[in-house]
Structure 1
Amino acid sequence: MKDFSRELSFKTSRSSGAGGQNVNKVETAVTVLWLVAESEFFNDYQKELIQNKLKNRINAEGYMFLTVSESRTQLMNKNKSIEKIIDLVNKALIIPKKRVATKPSKGQKQKRLDTKKKISEKKDNRKFKF
């Protein structure tokens, strides 16, 4: 887990929603910006992974952005935004294991066929016979 919080820049804005008397005066929403291509913490392959997996969060200039307005204070929103962007990037860097295709064993095949035969016999017994 890499902490690249030194490369982040922040913008503040007014939060939407309820907030009481300060809602029209205080800028509590925090937008965190990070220029992915200029990062010193990641190699080119990791940067490419981040850009591919998080392309919906990266704008035309190459900035990844995330806005947080969950809390009523700017500091708490700033801390939460740092946590969220680090978590997003670390999850994007995880490469899932390739699935190894396997075949069912003889026992599994036989069990499946036996079950099918039992169900077929059960349904056959429901029929009206003369």
Structure 2
Amino acid sequence: MKIPVTPRIALDEEELSEDFIRSSGPGGQNVNKVETAVQLRFNARLSPNLPDAVRHRLEKLAGHRLTQDGVIIITAQRHRTRERNREDALARLLELIREAAVPPPPPRRPTKPTLGSKLRRLEGKTRRADVKKGRGRQDGD
């Protein structure tokens, strides 16, 4: 089954794999028995559904969650149930892919200041210099 990410990108469920691990932190006696945390794995480098530009940006955005093999690992343990953690991990992965799918802004073209802005700047500098000149000793004091 396809998981829609953007209008042009959809992932196959077979591309995702889940491992269940024990959550860290407080939880009483239950924490030592139940594996509710989820590790979601997605091989971004081998995914046929990602365009090259999106794949490249995704690998940069993933940061420490990306392994050397190109697998993105997302660990979710915020919730007490497996199902909520699965939904949380999938939502975080899809958000990461959506962020990578947004094209970068066009490069900035430097512009030159207008003649008017140059003249205003110089006029302001002259005015300020006159104010400072008036602060010194006055002749005839």
Shorter chain as denominator, the TM-score bin is 0.7 to 0.9
The yes-or-no answer on 1:18 pairing with 2:26 is: yes
Task: Give structure 1 stretches of 5+ with no counterpart.
Answer: none
Separation in 1, partners of 2:40, 2:18: 5
The counterpart of 1:62, out of the listed 63, 67, 70, is 70
The counterpart of 2:55, out of the listed 27, 34, 47, is 47
Over the matched positions of the two proteins, sequence identity in percent amounts to 32
Greater RCO, 1 or 2 (C-alpha within 8 Å, sep 6+)? 1
Q: Which of structures 1 and 2 has the bigger CA Rg?
A: 2
Alignment partner of 2:33: what SS? coil
Structure with a larger share of its residues in helix: 1
The yes-or-no answer on 1:127 pairing with 2:136 is: yes
Note closer, same or farther for the CA distance 1:125–1:72 as it changes in structure 2 (3 Å cut). farther
- Runs of at least 4 residues of structure 1 off by over 6 A? none
The yes-or-no answer on 1:76 pairing with 2:84 is: yes
Residues matched between the structures, number: 130
TM-score, length basis structure 2: 0.77
CA contact (8 A) 1:12 1:30 kept: yes
Separation in 2, partners of 1:123, 1:16: 65
Separation in 2, partners of 1:114, 1:20: 72
The RMSD of aligned alpha carbons is 2.1
Alignment partner of 1:67: what SS? strand
